[in-house]
């Protein structure tokens, strides 16, 4: 890439969700910080989070929160990462409140704690009912605007700048008021990836359109390890309407039940926890119920909530109620048609608990990162917590490095490492985005096997050397996104093919059992 302008800072944060804005705010206490975001400040996946944030209400609950997280993770969690995140929860929550987030209160004035799947007790806090993510995004964005952080909106990440094996900045595509785009290089002593997930690699997803795996792709090209990418969480209840939307797990936590298209409740026969079983269990059961009825959606029946809680659905879940109303559905009177959809990426750029990656100068936090805290199946409402905690931890680490402290190598557990060939630059996609997304959903979705993964591999493998993107004039952002989606899709399929066992969210029809203790796996790019 040939930048036409440049700038520099101590810390460059890429992404403006809860992890990125927290990292930027905390790092700005002693360093010059630039926060670059693909769209507008706060306009990422965090804003769309309907569920809450899981936090131990007191010190006595930390151990139980750790145990619940480890159980949901199906043996693939890094216990140190889990303990670090859960133990830091109460302090992180106080920091959020100090930045203006107002959480819902119970009738006695204390925190209103909700119960969600696989939690042994209520510990999920909400803001504005089902608008927790929006409340957090708004408060953090306002705090960033008040701070010394330099914000660059509408800044697309093209790639990381690597010099002598160290990340020293990033190349961005900026767009001016007229819509023209220009290349800009930001040099930094420390670069933080907080770019979110890659849900758009699947044809059915709850993720916003911006979730095209840009950070993952950039990290891979820079030489960073990518861990557990096969671990994709599929949410059981995405509304099956022309404009799909997520129906929060909190609805089931309040007592809503799942029915098949014939009106039969199917979860009690699948798991004793019924609708509150771990998400991977509920998602696969829902998918089977949909398939058994010729593709007709399952039904989420919340019509009994008013009788149980004394409040209308719209009072407890105002955001979901508004989306339902726009689709012509009244949840107080009729079930909501639902199907599973790709929701959250448990794998990502391999980091330690401080957010350090395998490449010096590069940190990662939030959904783009893989600390091992989520394992093979994320515990409900742990994502906001982990992003908040790791964003703050990364800030402390990068601030020290930016101030001149010697960098230490990341403290990883002993993963299995697999080397794969990979391009060092962005490349054009030879597969139409629609076809790529459909192939990933069909062959690398909730149910996988060797034959389907082989089909996906062949589809995603170019027959000839594709066009280089970097540095070419006139190449737009969508072309870069397509290249990123292709790269992430290929890595995801490769990871899924390597894990010949069923584990948490990764289900192999041809290998339904999980023999022995599961191992974490990191993919590395060969030179």
Site of tokens 């914000």: 151
Mode of pairing for the β-strands spanning 124-125 and 53-54: antiparallel
What gap in Å lies between CA 399 and CA 33, rounded to an integer? 10
Gap between the Cα atoms of 242 and 334, Å rounded: 18
The residues, any chain, with a CB within 8 Å of residue 213's CB and separated by 6 or more, are 197, 198, 200, 201, 484, 485, 487, 488
Please report, in angstroms and rounded to a whole number, the separation of the first and last CA atoms in the chain. Answer: 20
For residue 225, the SS3 value is coil
Tokens at 311, concatenated? 């409040």
Would you state the structure tokens that stand for residue 219, as one six-digit string?
A: 């990290």
Q: Which residues contact 150 (CB under 8 A, 6 or more apart)?
A: 9, 32, 33, 34, 35
**Rg of the chain, C-alpha, whole Å:** 22
Tokens of 441: 């959903």
Q: What residues are labeled active site?
A: 279
Compute the C-alpha angle 370/372/377, nearest 5°: 95
Which ranges constitute the DSSP H helices of 425-470? 433-443, 450-460
Q: What is the DSSP string of 45-67?
A: GGGG--S-EE--SSHHHHHHHHH
User: Burial of 42 by CB count in 10 Å (0-12 exposed, 13-18 middle, 19+ buried)?
Assistant: buried
Is 144:40 a contact under the CB 8 Å cutoff?
no
- Other beta carbons within 10 Å of 4: 9
The sign of the CA dihedral 460, 350, 216, 45 is positive
């Amino acid at each position: 890439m040939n930048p036409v302008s440049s700038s520099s800072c101590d810390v460059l944060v890429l992404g403006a969700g809860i992890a990125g804005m927290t990292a930027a705010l905390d790092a700005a206490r002693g360093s010059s910080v630039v926060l670059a975001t693909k769209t507008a400040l706060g306009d990422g996946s965090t804003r769309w989070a309907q569920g809450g944030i899981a936090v131990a209400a007191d010190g006595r609950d930390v151990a139980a929160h750790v145990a619940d997280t480890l159980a949901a993770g199906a043996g693939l969690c890094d216990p140190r990462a889990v303990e670090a995140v859960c133990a830091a929860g109460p302090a992180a929550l106080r920091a959020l409140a100090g930045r203006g987030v107002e959480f819902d209160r119970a009738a006695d004035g204390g925190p209103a704690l909700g119960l969600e799947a696989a939690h042994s007790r209520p510990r999920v806090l909400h803001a504005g009912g089902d608008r927790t993510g929006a409340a957090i995004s708004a408060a953090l964005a306002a705090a960033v605007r008040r701070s010394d952080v330099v914000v660059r909106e509408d800044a697309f990440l093209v790639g990381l700048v690597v010099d002598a094996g160290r990340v020293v900045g990033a190349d961005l595509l900026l767009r001016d008021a007229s819509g023209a785009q220009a290349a800009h290089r930001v040099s930094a002593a420390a670069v933080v990836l907080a770019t979110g997930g890659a849900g758009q690699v699947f044809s059915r997803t709850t993720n916003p359109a911006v979730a095209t795996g840009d950070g993952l792709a950039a990290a891979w090209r820079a030489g960073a390890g990518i861990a557990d990418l096969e671990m994709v969480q599929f949410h059981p209840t995405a509304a099956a309407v022309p404009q799909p939307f997520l129906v929060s797990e909190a609805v089931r936590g309040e007592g809503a039940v799942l029915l098949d298209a014939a009106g039969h409740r199917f979860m009690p026969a699948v798991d004793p926890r019924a609708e509150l079983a771990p998400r991977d269990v509920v998602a696969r059961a829902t998918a089977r119920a949909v398939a058994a009825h010729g593709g007709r959606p399952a039904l989420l029946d919340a019509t009994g909530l008013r009788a149980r809680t004394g409040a209308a659905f719209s009072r407890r879940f105002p955001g979901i109620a508004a989306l339902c109303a726009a689709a012509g559905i009244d949840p107080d009177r009729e079930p909501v048609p639902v199907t599973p959809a790709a929701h959250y990426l448990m794998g990502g750029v391999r980091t330690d608990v401080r957010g350090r990656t395998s490449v010096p100068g590069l940190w990662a936090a939030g959904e783009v990162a893989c600390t091992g805290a989520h394992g093979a199946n994320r515990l409900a409402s742990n994502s906001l917590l982990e992003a908040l905690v790791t964003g703050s931890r990364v800030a402390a680490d990068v601030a020290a490095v930016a101030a001149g402290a010697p960098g230490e190598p990341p403290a990883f557990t002993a993963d299995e490492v697999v080397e794969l060939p990979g391009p060092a630059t962005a490349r054009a996609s030879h597969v139409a985005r629609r076809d790529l997304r459909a192939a990933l959903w069909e062959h690398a979705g909730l149910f996988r096997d060797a034959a389907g993964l082989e089909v996906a591999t062949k589809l995603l493998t170019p027959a000839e050397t594709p066009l280089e993107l970097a540095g070419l004039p006139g190449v737009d952002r969508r072309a870069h996104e397509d290249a990123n989606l292709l790269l992430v899709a290929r890595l995801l399929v490769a990871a899924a093919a390597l894990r010949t066992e069923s584990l948490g969210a990764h289900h192999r029809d041809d290998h339904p059992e999980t023999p022995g203790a599961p191992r974490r796996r990191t993919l590395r790019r060969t030179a």
